[in-house]
Amino acid sequence: MASLMNAMVDTPAIGATFDLATQPLRELNRFLHRDLAGTRAVRVLNPDGAHNIAVGVDAPVDVDIDGHAGYYAGGMNKQAHITIHGNTGPGVGEGMSSGAIHVKGFASVAAGASAHGGLLVIDGDASLRCGISMKGIDIVVGGSVGDYSAFMAQAGTLVICGDAGDGLGDSLYEAVIYVRGSVKSFGADAHEEPMSEADIAALGALLKAAGMSHDPKTFRRVASMRGLYHWNADANQEY
C-alpha cells in the first residue's frame, strides 16, 4: 500500500493519478474498490488497451482514462462516472447498473451488454450487438451500430444517431430504439412505430444528457411487435 500511495501525484483526498505504464492494473482497481476514502477523481494514464479497467466500481467517483481501453472497461459500474478518451474493446459497460460511461471514440462488440441501468454514451460508432440483452440501461451512440444491435433487449433505450446494420432489435422485448439514419434490416419481431410527443420529449432529454444536439423529431422509433411473447405452435418456426 505504501508504494501505491507514493505513486499518486495528486492529493489523495481530492484526486489520484495512476500510470499503467509503471503500475499494475491491479493496484488501480484495488484502490477503486477499497481505498477511495473520499477521493473524488481518479486519472488513468497510459492505459494502452489494458482489459478490465475500472471494473466493478461502486462509488460516486470520476474516472478519466487517457487513451484506449481493452475488454470490459467500466464493467459492472455502479455510481461512477467514467470517461474514456479513446476507443474501447468488447463489452464496455457490461452489466452496469448506474452511473455513466462516456466513450470519446469507438466501441467494439457488445457495448452495454446485459446492463441494468445508467447511461452509456459512445461518440463514434459501435460494433456488433450493441446493447445485447440490455435490461434498463440508456445507450446513446453518436455514429452507427453493427448487426444485431439490441438483440434480446429487455428494457431501456438505445439511441442511434447514425445507421444500423442487419437484424436491428432482433427478439426485442420492452426496450425502445430510436434511430436517425437508415436500417439495413429489422430483426424478428421488431418494427417501426410512430413517434409520440412523449417519445420526442424523452429522446430530447437523452440527447441533451449525452451532449448531442440532434433534433429528436428526425429520429424513428423501433419497438417490439410482441409476437414472440408467447409460444405459437402454429407458427412452424417462422418468426
Per-residue pLDDT, 237: 58
In a domain, 12, yes or no: no
In a domain, 31, yes or no: no
In a domain, 159, yes or no: yes
In a domain, 17, yes or no: no
Residue 186 grid cell? 429489422
In a domain, 15, yes or no: no
In a domain, 190, yes or no: yes
In a domain, 234, yes or no: no
Give the CATH number, domain containing residue 142.
2.160.20.60
pTM of this prediction? 0.92
Per-residue pLDDT, 91: 98
Please state, in angstroms and as integers, the Cα–Cα distance from residue 133 to each residue in 119, 157, 169, 183, 205, following that order. Answer: 15, 12, 10, 19, 23
Instruction: Give the 3-state DSSP-derived string for the chain, with helices as H, strands as E and coil as C.
Output: CHHHHHHCCCCCCCEEEEECCCCCHHHHHHHHHHCCCCCCEEEEECCCCCCCCCCCCECCCEEEEECCECCCCCCCCECCEEEECCCECCCCCCCCCCCEEEECCCECCCCCCCCCCCEEEECCCECCCCCCCCEEEEEEECCCECCCCCCCCCEEEEEECCCECCCECCCCCCCEEEECCCECCECCCEEEECCCHHHHHHHHHHHHHCCCCCCHHHCEEEEECCCCCCCCHHHCCCC
In a domain, 82, yes or no: yes
> Based on the structure, what is the number of domains in the chain?
1
* Structural domain range at position 186: 50-228
> Across the 239 residues of the chain, what is the mean pLDDT of every consecutive 10-residue run?
34 76 97 93 98 97 98 98 98 98 98 98 98 98 98 98 98 97 97 98 98 98 89 62
Per-residue pLDDT, 231: 66
Per-residue pLDDT, 9: 38
